Structure 1
């Protein structure tokens, strides 16, 4: 449940950031006010596109055999892990100039009267965040967690509500709560979540006899933190920790963090304050 809340919250805040940048520019520029209906049209279109993707994934999943679902779940879990890392890298490289780049694009479209470009830009931005959320949530195996539709919907709504409050605080908080702090904190949590998803993938690869376990278990740390306990399970969910890991899982975990270090090191500069 905590993973759902975190993912919906983080992705919703990022979507609100993009919408906020576009809205602020259009609202405060006389030439841009005509584009406001196109902005909200883009928001609706983006949500619809993300919803269509979610429905398509669920439909495809239900049409597969039991074995096919296992392989599809494996592919989506691995994709979700890779997508999280890619998203963090993208924000590190483009976060500092995000506001400037978007406002430059809006100015060009406003001058040319091409308001459909605002709809397209907004729809793509919202659909990107929504699609990432769909892939992340499916990759976490929500269908296997025993969640009812009502409990999932309540958690998702809570995540959006929390995102609204967070966005307001980030806009009003000044130095106390900055966009830079927000991105630095959530980047770390996202990378831990991606590591957890990768461990799920490796675990499934081993269970399907697609890769060898090598040594299983490599150790037993359940006396310290038992991943079958309530707190241990929560810790494992967000970090990929296993109290009885196979050697293959340990090698994958170490390899993941080495790859993350190498990929993020050249763009180590964090996202600056990009909101209006």
Structure 2
């Protein structure tokens, strides 16, 4: 549930940032007027609808699969979610400094051309991107949950959304401690940890159904020191991929992921 809260919180804040930038620009632009704002909110609604269609599509596909097919599908979605998280962190490191300028430039061009539908599409893509990522991340996280757990996940999602509005409000106030830069630096670390956890989850599913060899499974048993099914161990398992009974293959891929991710993102950070 902590994963769900974090994903909804982080993605909602980013979506609010995008919409907030475009809203502020339109309010300050005499050429846009109320018509521009109507197309802005229309783009937001279209982006949310696009995300909803993706969610229905994913759920529909999973319903038509056999038990083994669902295992493969859920493992695949967890791995796709992990890859998308890394891509999102990379994209934000590369474009975070110029995001506001790029959005306002695209908006200005469409307003000058009176291309209101182009403005709607711009907003729809921006919001739909965040919503679609949220759908994939959440499915990769909650796949296989039973009915009793889904109520808790829904509550965590609602809490994440409310927390996102509060966070956005605080960030808009500005300050030396709680700034947009520190927010992205902090959540970047958490996102990479979460991607590692989703990677482990997907690989474990494939090992459990025999699609991948565990090599040595389990490699060790550290449950007497830190159990991954409760308390702090469960938190580390959800957010960092910790396992008290790891398979050698899963552990090796997890270590390779961290070596590659840290090295690659450090290079991107230096270039940025």
Normalising by structure 2, report the TM-score.
0.95
* Secondary structure in 2 matching 1:215: coil
Which shows bigger deviation, 173-182 or 73-82? 173-182
What does the per-residue CA deviation read over 1:88-124, in whole Å, with 9 as the maximum and x for residues that have no partner? 0000001110001111111111111111121111111
* Secondary structure in 2 matching 1:31: coil
* Secondary structure in 2 matching 1:140: helix
Conserved 8 A contact 2:72-2:206: no
Structure 2: how far apart are the matches of 1:100 and 1:270? 19
Structure 1 partner of 2:256: 255
**Deviation at residue 245 of structure 1 after TM alignment:** 1.0
Structure 1: how far apart are the matches of 2:267 and 2:66? 44
> Structure 2: which 5+ runs fail to align?
none
Structure 2: how far apart are the matches of 1:7 and 1:176? 23
Conserved 8 A contact 1:11-1:133: yes
Which shows bigger deviation, 257-266 or 77-86? 257-266
Distance 1:152 1:206, change over 3 A: closer
Conserved 8 A contact 1:184-1:270: no
* Secondary structure in 2 matching 1:268: helix
**Deviation at residue 155 of structure 1 after TM alignment:** 2.3
Structure 1: how far apart are the matches of 2:56 and 2:28? 37
Structure 2 partner of 1:17: 17
Q: In the TM superposition, what are the counterparts of 1:39-54 in structure 2 within 5 Å?
A: 39-54=40-55
* Secondary structure in 1 matching 2:243: coil
Structure 2 partner of 1:186: 187
**Deviation at residue 266 of structure 1 after TM alignment:** 1.9
Structure 2 partner of 1:5: 5
Conserved 8 A contact 2:214-2:249: yes
**Deviation at residue 84 of structure 1 after TM alignment:** 0.4
Structure 1: how far apart are the matches of 2:270 and 2:37? 33
Conserved 8 A contact 2:47-2:128: yes
* Secondary structure in 2 matching 1:155: helix
Which shows bigger deviation, 228-237 or 238-247? 228-237
Structure 1 partner of 2:79: 78
* Secondary structure in 2 matching 1:27: helix
Conserved 8 A contact 1:170-1:179: yes
Distance 1:73 1:142, change over 3 A: closer
Structure 1: how far apart are the matches of 2:206 and 2:56? 26
Conserved 8 A contact 1:226-1:233: yes
Structure 1: how far apart are the matches of 2:154 and 2:244? 32
* Secondary structure in 2 matching 1:210: coil
Distance 1:28 1:87, change over 3 A: same
Q: In the TM superposition, what are the counterparts of 1:1-276 in structure 2 within 5 Å?
A: 1-33=1-33, 34-147=35-148, 150-268=151-269
Conserved 8 A contact 1:47-1:130: yes
Distance 1:78 1:261, change over 3 A: same
Structure 2: how far apart are the matches of 1:270 and 1:233? 37
What does the per-residue CA deviation read over 1:21-41, in whole Å, with 9 as the maximum and x for residues that have no partner? 100000011112231100000
CA RMSD in angstroms comes to 1.6
Normalising by structure 1, report the TM-score.
0.94
> Structure 1: which 5+ runs fail to align?
272-276
Structure 2: how far apart are the matches of 1:265 and 1:144? 36
**Number of equivalenced pairs:** 271
**Deviation at residue 215 of structure 1 after TM alignment:** 1.6
